[in-house]
């Protein structure tokens, strides 16, 4: 029913071939990029399908917005190429099953914050930054009515997303929100990138969490006291779907008086947390993930970062302990913003 819109002629006419030449993880002759992408577009097998670590990077690198990553995942599924072992895929697919029971629908007729699958992080949503903002999320029975499902791109399972996502969008729309503020980059990317790419209608206005935080901080600007910390930002892979919103990271740091350190692996050149690579089935995946993580953390240390700022819970879970052992404090962006307006987040001393 829902079909990815991919234009072969854009590959033929593309001179840059950045989608794969810029990839950190797929080794390919720049002269062979066009040939491999055309093979994938035409439904043929390619070594790229097996080498892809599902980091989303090619979505940002593609100069024509032709959705090479979405195409790669669809072909992985068609050829039965699962980036991670089958038992882990099935477990993940079962874990995020929505529509078990009926959610409690409260019509908001205003903005609503979607925490998606991260109900355990709702304690982050407190204080002046979030006054009067309703929250929708997975409930205590682990019913994933608001979980965007896009994580199944990491498992080579586009069909699961297409099957479940329209119903999830309908559930959110029943709240009658004017705006849906997306706590996670992946949810925002779902509604602004994936849905248009496959023809799924989104009847509400998605708002990136960092854009919301910035606008709210501007309203509370009189309360801001510079935090005076040297900070690095761990950019999650799903932010590749909305690179235009990445500017709010720097704008928030400047607004709250945080000094963003000068690093090599930032922006388009950012390294993923390595979490998805660790569990992949190819030989040497753990060693490869560890090498990426070491490179990333060493870069932060050399730059003099005191704090590493996260938005993605999976990234923090993967890197948080390693960073703490190196003397770099992991912290969520919302907690850093609360600190700047005089509130003390839980666990902050």
DSSP-assigned states of every residue in 101-168: SPPPP---SSEEEEEET-GGGGGGS-SGGGTT--EEE--TT---TT---GGGGGGT-HHHHHHHHHHH
| Whole-structure pTM value | 0.94
DSSP string, 64-83: T---HHHHHHHHHHHTT--S
Diameter of the chain by CA atoms? 59
What is d(CA 329, CA 11) in angstroms, rounded to the nearest whole number?
43
What is d(CA 174, CA 177) in angstroms, rounded to the nearest whole number?
8
- 220-340: CATH architecture: 3-Layer(aba) Sandwich (3.40)
DSSP string, 203-238: -SEEEEHHHHHHHHHHHTGGG------EEEE---GG
Q: β-strands 205-208, 179-182: how paired?
A: parallel
Contact in structure between 23 and 59 (CB atoms under 8 Å)? no
Q: Which two tokens stand for residue 73?
A: 């995942």
111-208: CATH topology is Rossmann fold (3.40.50)
CATH 3.40.50.1860 residue ranges for the chain: 220-340
pLDDT of residue 217: 98
The candidate with the shortest Cα–Cα distance to 237, out of 292, 281, 291, 306, is 292
Residues whose CB falls within 8 Å of the CB of residue 76, separated by 6 or more in sequence, listed in order: 49, 52, 82, 83, 156
Query: Residue with structure tokens 């035409």?
Result: 42
pLDDT of residue 279: 62
Per-position pLDDT tens, the chain of length 349 = 799 988 889 988 888 888 999 998 898 998 889 999 999 999 999 999 999 989 999 999 999 999 999 999 999 999 999 888 888 889 888 888 888 778 888 888 899 999 998 988 999 999 999 999 999 988 766 678 999 999 999 999 999 999 999 999 999 999 999 999 999 999 999 999 999 999 999 999 999 999 999 999 999 999 999 999 999 999 999 999 999 999 999 999 999 999 999 999 999 999 999 888 866 666 677 888 899 999 999 999 999 999 999 999 999 999 999 999 999 999 999 999 999 999 988 777 6
Report which DSSP code applies to 244. Answer: G
The candidate with the shortest Cα–Cα distance to 315, out of 260, 254, 253, 233, is 233
3-state secondary structure of 30: helix
Contact in structure between 207 and 183 (CB atoms under 8 Å)? no
Q: Checking phi first, is residue 81 left (phi over 0); if not, alpha (psi -120 to 50) or beta?
A: beta
What is d(CA 130, CA 266) in angstroms, rounded to the nearest whole number?
29
**What is the torsion angle, in degrees rounded to the nearest 10, for the CA atoms of residue 247, residue 248, residue 250 and residue 252?**
170
């Amino acid at each position: 029913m829902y079909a990815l819109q991919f234009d072969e002629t854009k590959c033929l006419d593309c001179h840059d071939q950045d989608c794969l030449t810029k990839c950190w993880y797929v080794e390919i002759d720049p002269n062979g990029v066009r040939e491999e992408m055309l093979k994938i577009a035409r439904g043929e097998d390619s070594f790229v399908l097996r080498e892809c670590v599902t980091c989303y990077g090619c979505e940002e690198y593609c100069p024509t917005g032709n959705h090479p990553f979405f195409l790669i995942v669809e072909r992985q599924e068609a050829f039965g190429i699962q980036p991670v072992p089958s038992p882990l895929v099935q477990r993940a697919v079962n874990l995020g099953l929505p529509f078990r029971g009926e959610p409690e629908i409260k019509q908001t007729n205003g903005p609503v914050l979607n925490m998606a699958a991260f109900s355990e992080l709702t304690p982050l949503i407190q204080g002046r930054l979030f006054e009067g903002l309703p929250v929708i999320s997975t409930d205590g029975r682990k019913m994933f009515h608001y979980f965007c499902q896009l994580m199944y791109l990491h498992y080579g399972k586009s069909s699961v997303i297409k099957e479940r996502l329209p119903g999830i969008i309908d559930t959110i729309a029943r709240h009658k929100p004017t705006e849906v503020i997306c706590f996670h980059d992946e949810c925002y990317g779902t509604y602004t990138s994936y849905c248009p790419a496959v023809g799924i209608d989104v009847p509400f206005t998605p708002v990136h969490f960092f854009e919301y935080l910035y606008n709210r901080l501007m309203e509370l600007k009189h309360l801001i006291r510079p935090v005076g910390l040297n900070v690095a930002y761990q950019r999650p892979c799903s932010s590749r779907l909305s690179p235009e919103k990445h500017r709010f990271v720097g704008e928030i740091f400047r607004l709250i008086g945080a000094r963003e350190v000068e690093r090599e692996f930032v922006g388009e050149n950012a390294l993923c947390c390595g979490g998805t690579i660790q569990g992949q089935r190819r030989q040497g995946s753990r060693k490869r993930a560890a090498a990426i993580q070491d490179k990333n953390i060493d870069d932060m240390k050399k730059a003099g970062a005191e704090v590493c700022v996260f938005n993605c819970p999976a990234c923090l879970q993967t890197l948080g302990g390693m960073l703490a052992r190196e003397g770099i404090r992991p912290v969520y962006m919302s907690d850093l913003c609360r600190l700047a307006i005089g509130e003390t987040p839980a666990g902050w001393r």
